[in-house]
Amino acid sequence: MKKHLFSYLWFLILLLGACQTDVPQEHLETVQAPLTTMMLVRHAEKVEDGSKNPSLTEKGARRAETIRQLFEEAGINALYATPFERTEKTLQPLAATLGMTVENYDPSLGAEQLIDEMLAKHAGEKIFIAGHSNTIPAMLNVLTGSDDYEDFTHDQYDDLFVVSLAEKGKAAVTRLQVKIAD
């Protein structure tokens, strides 16, 4: 029953993404490139231990498991995370279920270069990216060709963005809230 519920939720996510668009209709009619879908999320809740590479809290581990349940049947082609324990562990349950490896990306390269490389490598595919409070908004701004997305607050973990695009700068964005009980 739980598996069917998550399949149904994924269907609703895709349906909402198709219905809620920030892209003018004239852009959608003229684009010939394949549609690429990116799921972007900040890493799950981290342990506040003062280290530079903390792991996830219990709540963060539950969030990672919820992400797995929501996206295990979504046809994900690639998983990306920064080379930090908290971002990798956010995607690890999904990677294990899919039999995939989480590929590391270097956030110091900048959002523009990272998005260009990912789009070139995965055009027409579905990519899931885990990042940080500053890297995910920067990527969203590159994808949408805007400055609409600001850095997340210290305690902001619930946002998950589904971005559909055929060309950088012209994207439809659906913002989801993934609430996890304390």
Domains of the chain and CATH, by start: 2-177 (3.40.50.1240)
Sheet of 36-42, strands arranged across: 102-104, 78-81, 126-131, 36-42, 159-167, 170-177
One-letter amino acid identity for 102? V
Q: What are phi and psi of 107, to 5 degrees?
A: -65, -20
User: Which sign does the torsion angle of CA 43, 83, 6, 159 carry?
Assistant: positive
What residue spans of 20-134 are helical by DSSP H? Answer: 25-30, 58-71, 85-98, 111-122
Give me the half-sphere count of Cα atoms (radius 13 Å) on the Cβ side of residue 174: 18
User: Which sign does the torsion angle of CA 6, 12, 16, 17 carry?
Assistant: positive
CA 86, CA 93: separation in Å to the nearest integer? 12
Tens-digit pLDDT profile for the chain (182 aa)?
455 444 545 544 544 454 444 555 555 555 567 899 999 999 999 999 999 999 999 999 999 999 999 999 999 999 999 999 999 999 999 999 999 999 999 999 999 999 999 999 999 999 999 999 999 999 999 999 999 999 999 999 999 999 999 999 999 999 999 999 98
pTM: 0.83
CA 90, CA 56: separation in Å to the nearest integer? 8
Q: What does the pLDDT read at residue 3?
A: 54
CA 14, CA 95: separation in Å to the nearest integer? 21
Rg (CA), the chain: 16
> What is the DSSP pairing of strand 170-177 with strand 159-167?
antiparallel
